[in-house]
Structure 1
Amino acid sequence: MVAGETSGDMLAGLLLEGLRARWPDLQTQGIGGPAMLAQGFQSWWPQEKLAVRGYIEVLPRLWEILSIRRQLRKRLIEQPPALFVGVDAPDFNLGLEAGLRAQGIKTVHFVCPSVWAWRPEKIEKLKVAADHVLCIFPFEPELLAQHGIAASYVGHPLASVIPVEPDRAAARLKLGLNNEDTVVALLPGSRSSEIAYIGQRFFDAAAQLLRRRPGMRFVVPAVPAQRERLQAMAQASGLGDSIQVLAGQSHLAMAACDVTLIASGTATLEAALFKRPMVIAYNMHPMSWRMMKRKQLQPWVGLPNILSGEFVVPELLQDAATPTALAQSVLDWLDSPERIEVLQQRFQALHLTLKRDTAQLATDAIEKILES
């Protein structure tokens, strides 16, 4: 298995739990993070080596990443596994899967690339790479079938992990927050490049919010590799005791908050499953932004908006993601309880659509591949 970043590690960890329940003696190795390691996974390289997003941002690391893929491919061909599972990370995994499949190794790709949102050219690469695709959104298998790609809808693992009705009071108690506090969760991303481009804007927006609403509290979940950096940014922001930088605990932060200011990515879907209003923001290298914009097929980039088919939450991207605009968008939510109520109803319906027995459905599909 290969999972290239924090969100992939989380999904892979949940999948591994189901695989181990069916095959207790299963041996798994490749590249993964803490959630996978907790399931007995052996990671041959640190997952952080692959955690890069964007076209220009990847260039300083490209040679190392390609070297890892070459070494991994050679190792797997010399010692063929019963199955290779690529978890998301299509830029890394699809090429690797194609090479392994050409050598007779069975391959599964977990999480359909967002060919319906941008980069439609990946569908041809997926066709060559994967014997089967495990899809987390219900409309994807039919789309893939039109291109001759075998796929199964397995639901989104997080929809079964996150309760349909999150316990805000319990989450606040664990974080030392009062029920009457106004709490904003800041999630500037897990990759170093994301924090470099958007992190300071988030903290500056938080400082503006605190000036306008004294007493506001902020929580910042941080992956281990970025925690020290985020702590330094928090200390320099002038937020003082009003901010906590947490060791992970993103779900606790989302459950506890009133609103989240969040970088575009898988975390936005998690926030939706927690029924939390959000302001989605993103900023990247200008050249990467121009290249991505050309490949975009829909007017939305945030998963809650894509799945809803409309702007149910605001998106402030690139130059629009100024600290002032971010702060004002957060205040707009806090001042509109009726909007929040409507949004929560939309998110609850979405949650029920995505909630399936993912472990059972995924392992059923994998067993058929192994027996074919």
Structure 2
Amino acid sequence: MRLAMVAGEASGDLLAGLLLGGLHERWPALAAAGIGGPKMAARGFEAWWPSDKLAVHGYADALRHYREIKGIRDRLGDRLLAEPPAVFVGVDAPDFNLGLEKRLKAAGIPSVHFVCPSIWAWRGGRAKKMAASCDHVLCLFPFEPELLQRHGVAATYVGHPLADAIPIEPPRAAARAALGLGEGDPVVAVLPGSRRGEIEHIAPAFLQAVERLHRQRPELRFLLPVAPGLRAMVEPLVAAHAGDAPIQLLDGRSHEVLAACDVTLIASGTATLEAALFKRPMVIGYRMAWLSWQLMRRMGYLPWVGLPNILARDFVVPELLQDRCEPEALARETLAWLDDAPRARALQARFLDLHHLLKRDTARRATDALAQVLESRS
């Protein structure tokens, strides 16, 4: 079977890579191509364009790259119409994928969207666009299918593939040994994002918070996993903002870092869910261009932006956004977790319940749903 896929950014590449594992189990001779990253390539995916071409940060960044990204989408659509795949799967990246899916669906190519856009949090009008674009949506969270079905969108709850990939009991000791850390070392993970725009806006505040933490607690160790291709950008920022703090830069290895740490200072996004599945206390921070922030905050429906808080429907972890994402506050909230063991244990218990809720053998469920879409078309 020939499958086409588009995944934007590191998080989409990760989700698509996990999905491809299940697809290959069902269809061993599967050939998949389109837009993807290294996790997908490791599963035999042929990337005609790399996923980081779609990694924009907010509206201002999207406008700067609009012409290039639209050109990629037009050329990809032409190629898929000329050589139709059995099914197209758009992984997240709704601003790119929904328009492409609508074009393919109109031409008779089955279109499946993996990851429901956050219409329950903002931009609820997308539901109508999805009805015109998708034959089926694979949902990560249990409340999403009913919401979509109200708008005439067929959907299946498949759980979250990260809940299958991350062990219920995090391998803390093994991760620390692999990273050269002692069992008793107090460790802070620093994850300022995986996109250039995120690094530009968020990393300086995070690194200045690290410098403050180092001055107050010299015994702290800091781990910063760097996304592929961003080390040359991160290293000068560390030198400029973190002074003499003992920061260990790592190429990737974010899961080892989350398993090993005591608390993480983390940018809002999929990584916060990963941290929750590793049962780690966190401080969520985020900044973006002023115009993008003004637009996004006016369209939000919920009081939370971090996935752990959204799923818990409570501020179980602090969120420091835009002007509040400043070094002193970030450092203060990080120390608060380190100094309150009962609070951290209570949070870990809530995250354990969340892990069981999302662990649903996603690859198998998603593959079954794809098979049903193909059978209904044939």
Q: How does 1:137-148 map to 2 (within 5 A)?
A: 137-148=141-152
Percent identity between the aligned chains? Answer: 60
1:68-100 CA distances to partner (integer Å, 9 max, x unpaired)?
Answer: 000001111111110000000001000110111
Alignment partner of 1:48 out of 49, 52, 61: 52
Q: Report whether the alignment pairs 1:226 with 2:248.
A: no
Q: Report whether the alignment pairs 1:332 with 2:336.
A: yes
Q: In the alignment, what sits opposite 1:121?
A: 125
User: Secondary structure of the residue that 1:43 maps to in structure 2?
Assistant: strand
Q: In the alignment, what sits opposite 2:239?
A: 235
Alignment partner of 1:369 out of 367, 370, 373: 373
Of 241-250 and 183-192, more deviation after overlay is shown by: 241-250
Of 54-63 and 154-163, more deviation after overlay is shown by: 54-63
CA contact (8 A) 2:210 2:242 kept: no
Distance 2:120 2:204 in 1: 32
Distance 1:162 1:8 in 2: 17
One-letter amino acid of the structure 2 residue matched with residue 165 of structure 1: E
Distance 1:21 1:35 in 2: 17
1:329-348 CA distances to partner (integer Å, 9 max, x unpaired)?
Answer: 10111111111011000000
Alignment partner of 1:162 out of 163, 166, 191: 166
Alignment partner of 1:75 out of 76, 79, 94: 79
Distance 1:337 1:171 in 2: 21
User: Secondary structure of the residue that 1:55 maps to in structure 2?
Assistant: helix
1:218-252 CA distances to partner (integer Å, 9 max, x unpaired)?
Answer: 10111112122112222333454711111101100
What 5-or-longer segments of structure 1 have no aligned partner?
Answer: none
One-letter amino acid of the structure 2 residue matched with residue 245 of structure 1: L
Distance 1:49 1:56 in 2: 16
Q: How does 1:261-280 map to 2 (within 5 A)?
A: 261-280=265-284
Q: Offset of 1:200 from its aligned partner?
A: 0.7
Distance 1:89 1:221 in 2: 23
Distance 2:242 2:284 in 1: 23
1:148-183 CA distances to partner (integer Å, 9 max, x unpaired)?
Answer: 110101110010110111021111111111111111
TM-score, normalization by structure 2? 0.97
Aligned residues: 372
Distance 1:305 1:334 in 2: 20
User: Secondary structure of the residue that 2:48 maps to in structure 1?
Assistant: strand
Q: Offset of 1:360 from its aligned partner?
A: 1.0
Distance 1:179 1:89 in 2: 39
CA contact (8 A) 1:4 1:31 kept: yes
1:43-69 CA distances to partner (integer Å, 9 max, x unpaired)?
Answer: 001211110121112122111000000
Q: Give the CA RMSD over aligned residues.
A: 0.9
TM-score, normalization by structure 1? 0.99
Q: Runs of at least 4 residues of structure 1 off by over 6 A?
A: none
Distance 1:340 1:238 in 2: 26
CA contact (8 A) 1:137 1:354 kept: yes
Distance 2:321 2:86 in 1: 43
Alignment partner of 1:348 out of 349, 352, 358: 352
Q: In the alignment, what sits opposite 1:248?
A: 252
